[in-house]
Structure 1
Amino acid sequence: MRHGMGMNKPDSKIADGGSLDDAILAVLATAGAKTLSAPEIAHAIAAGDDWHGLLVPIRRSAVALAQAGRLVIYRKGKPADPNDFRGVYRLGLPRHD
Structure 2
Amino acid sequence: MTIDDAEVAAALMALAEKRGRDKTFCPSEAARRLADDWRPLMPEIRRVAGTLPLIATQKGQPVDPVTARGPIRLRLAPQGRRGSRG
Instruction: Tell me whether the two structures share a fold, i.e. TM-score over 0.5.
Output: yes
Unaligned runs of at least 5 residues, structure 1: 1-7, 14-18
- Give the AA of the match of 1:35: T
- Rounded to whole Å, the distance in 1 between the matches of 2:74 and 2:28 is 11
Contact 1:12 1:21 in 2 (8 A): yes
How many aligned positions are there?
A: 78
Q: Deviations over 1:64-89 (max 9, x none)?
A: 22xxxx11011111222456532221
- The share of aligned pairs that are identical, in percent, is 37
Computed over aligned residues only, the root mean square deviation of the Cα atoms, in angstroms, reads: 2.3
Aligned: 1:64 with 2:51: yes
Contact 1:11 1:57 in 2 (8 A): no
TM-score by length of 1: 0.63
Match of 2:75 in 1: 92
Unaligned runs of at least 5 residues, structure 2: 80-86
- Rounded to whole Å, the distance in 2 between the matches of 1:83 and 1:29 is 21
Greater C-alpha radius of gyration: 1
- Rounded to whole Å, the distance in 1 between the matches of 2:67 and 2:37 is 28
TM-score by length of 2: 0.69
